[in-house]
Amino acid sequence: MARTLDFWLDYASTYSYLAAERIGALARAAGVTVRWRPFLLGPIFQAQGWNTSPFNLYPGKGRYMWRDMERQCERLGLPLKRPEPFPQNSILAARVALVGFAEGWGEDFSRAVYRAEFGEGRSISDTSVMADILGALKRDAARLLEQAQRAENKARLRGETEEAQRLGIFGAPSFVTADGELFWGNDRLEAALAWAQG
């Protein structure tokens, strides 16, 4: 079996932040090649009748999630600051990310987005925040923001989200092995890597 793993992430997802921070070192140690697959959870949630995050629809679950994130971030030494509103609209970040992964700087960009959003509480739907993040990565923000919003790039993101849906993905982060095994949640990252090792 190929030692590869697809990492499906949504930039609005708190636990995707934890997975994005953890997956690099763990995958290297496991000898597994990871393909980062940005997508949008929004259309998948809408298809099951949700118009916002389940953490907002079910306040008890939401309160718990933020407390759990506090504990996990403390354990991992990661900053945590809740952005307003939550969830953030992640479509711009996902579009820029697709360009970034095509050009080879997608992972650094992804981690920078999560740090801005959940480490500093910034609004990732804001074009100026996106420009800041790209500038800090020494990227040409004006060109990239234009490229991200082109019709063919928008269509690619729609295609990725449809692919996630076909794979049975219903939350983020999710991990899918070469033989189609689905693992959901940051808590299943180690199990997904072990499966990918065969």
Least distance from its own copies to the Cβ atom of residue 93, Å: 24
- Interactions with its own copies, residue window 42-61 (CB under 8 A): 48, 58, 60-61
Q: Which residue, 35 or 63, is less far from its own copies as judged by CB?
A: 63
66 binds its own copies (CB under 8 A): no
DSSP codes of every residue in 52-111: S-HHHHSHHHHHHHHHHHHHHHHHHT------SSSSPP-HHHHHHHHHHHHHT-HHHHHH
Q: Which residue, 61 or 143, is less far from its own copies as judged by CB?
A: 61
Q: Give percent helix, percent strand, percent coil of the chain, each to the nearest 5.
A: 60, 10, 30
**Separation between Cα atoms, residue 94 and residue 100, nearest integer Å:** 10
Least distance from its own copies to the Cβ atom of residue 127, Å: 33
- Interactions with its own copies, residue window 173-192 (CB under 8 A): 182-184, 187-188, 191
**Separation between Cα atoms, residue 91 and residue 186, nearest integer Å:** 21
Chain contacts with its own copies (rule: CB under 8 A): 48, 58, 60-61, 63-64, 67-68, 71, 168-171, 182-184, 187-188, 191
